[in-house]
Amino acid sequence: MKYSLPEEFHVFGFARDLLEWYDSQKRDLPWRINRDPYRVWVSEIMLQQTRVETVKPYYMNFMEKFPTVRALAEAPEEDVLKAWEGLGYYSRVRNLQAAAREVQARYGGVVPDKPEEIRTLKGIGPYTAGAILSIAYEKPEPAVDGNVMRVFSRLLYLTDDIAKPAARIKIEQLVRQVIPEGRAGDFNQALMELGAMVCTPRSPHCLTCPVFDYCLARREGVQEELPNKGKAKPPRPVDLQVAVLLRDRQVLIHKRPEQGLLAGMWVFPMAEGDAWGEADQKELLAQGLLAQFGVEAEVLHSLGEVQHTFSHLQWNMRVWLCDWIDGQELPPSARFVSIEQLDEYTFPVAHHKIRPLLPRT
Active-site amino acid positions:
44
Residues 6+ apart with CB under 8 A from 110: 37, 69, 103
The answer to whether residues 238 and 313 touch, using CB atoms and an 8 Å cutoff, is yes
Peptide linkage before 112 cis (omega within 30 of 0): no
Number of C-beta neighbours around residue 360 at 10 A: 4
Range list of H helices, the chain: 11-25, 37-47, 52-65, 69-74, 77-84, 91-107, 115-118, 126-137, 146-155, 165-176, 184-197, 216-220, 278-293, 349-352
The answer to whether residues 14 and 190 touch, using CB atoms and an 8 Å cutoff, is no
Looking from the CA of 318 toward its CB, the CA atoms found within 13 Å total 21
The answer to whether residues 99 and 72 touch, using CB atoms and an 8 Å cutoff, is no
Closest alpha carbon to 188 in 52, 30, 32: 32
Return the exposure string of 315-349: e unless at least 16 CB atoms fall within 10 Å of the residue's CB, then b: bebbbbbbebeebeeeeeebbbeebeebeebbbbb
